[in-house]
Structure 1
């Protein structure tokens, strides 16, 4: 059970300028991911409108990645307010999603190369989030939880 000193210290760490600056950068990275996802979905729409190949996979994947952006952003805002649960989710998603995005893009014949490149351009933004959430500023703000039995 946490005592009052632990809670005050955690609150102080969340309010620290370095911590909030790191969260500001994370929010920008998430918005960049969303912008690239929106551009990708827009290109799929233009391609479909002009009679080029636009498969169901491209539409659905593009829509899902764009739809996930506000959810990750909201989790980032909650983490910046002190939610460890939200912080852990952002950290986990930012680690798994780039691997999944790039991994799926590498499956031969699943999508055209231009689509894979556009989708792949969104991954570095999430890699940035993964690195920042594991950096010293945010690791200090959210020390590892210990499990007690």
Structure 2
């Protein structure tokens, strides 16, 4: 039986293929963010081991950012299961986290340029997540 692509889907919003793909991409983005955060931590360890200066801010940020990926991933998984509260949490974090990371790194003297660039690369998947959570596929899963 053929279906007309112009006919609205009767499937529940979370059961639609586009919604499932969007949530799969969202959780993958969080995993990539966590992996990049872990690589960032390893880079700080390597720089410190080589005898170059690493300040307290860099250590704290390098440890915290990959740790943040854990609750964000859990929330993304909960949202994919239908939790509106988890979805709203992910939407909020996906906007605030990149602004906070990049904004603080732009303050002169807080961290070296290489570290700011590395942190910016780390939050790129979170920026992608911010756009995904505002996409039609996910907005229709949790209508207002």
Q: Which runs of 5+ in 1 are unaligned?
A: 1-10, 145-149
CA distance in 2, matches of 1:50, 1:114: 15
Partners of 2:122 and 2:84 in 1: how far apart? Answer: 25
CA drift of 1:101 comes to: 0.8
**Number of the residue aligned with 2:4:** none
Partner of 1:62: 62
Aligned residues: 134
Q: Which runs of 5+ in 2 are unaligned?
A: 1-10
CA distance in 2, matches of 1:20, 1:53: 45
C-alpha deviation, 1:123, in angstroms: 2.0
Compute the displacement of 1:25 (Å): 0.4
- Residue deviations 1:120-145, cap 9 Å, x none? 1022211110101000000000011x
Q: CA RMSD in A?
A: 1.0
Where does structure 1 differ by over 6 angstroms across 4 or more consecutive aligned residues? Answer: none
| Aligned equivalent of 1:8 | none
Instruction: Give 1:16 deviation, angstroms.
Output: 1.4
Question: How far off its partner does 1:32 sit?
Answer: 1.2
1:103 CA drift (Å) = 0.2
Q: SS state of the match for residue 96, structure 2?
A: helix
SS at match of 1:121: helix
Deviation string, structure 1 residues 5-50 (Cα, Å, up to 9, x no partner): xxxxxx8211211111000000111111111111111000011111
Greater fraction of residues in helix: 1
Question: Equivalent residue for 1:138?
Answer: 138
Alpha-carbon distance in 1 for matches of 2:73, 2:35: 12
Match of 1:28 in 2: 28
Partner of 1:112: 112
For 2:94 and 2:46, how far apart are their aligned partners in 1? 29
C-alpha distance in 1 between matches for 2:14 and 2:104: 36
Q: Tell me what 1:6 maps to.
A: none
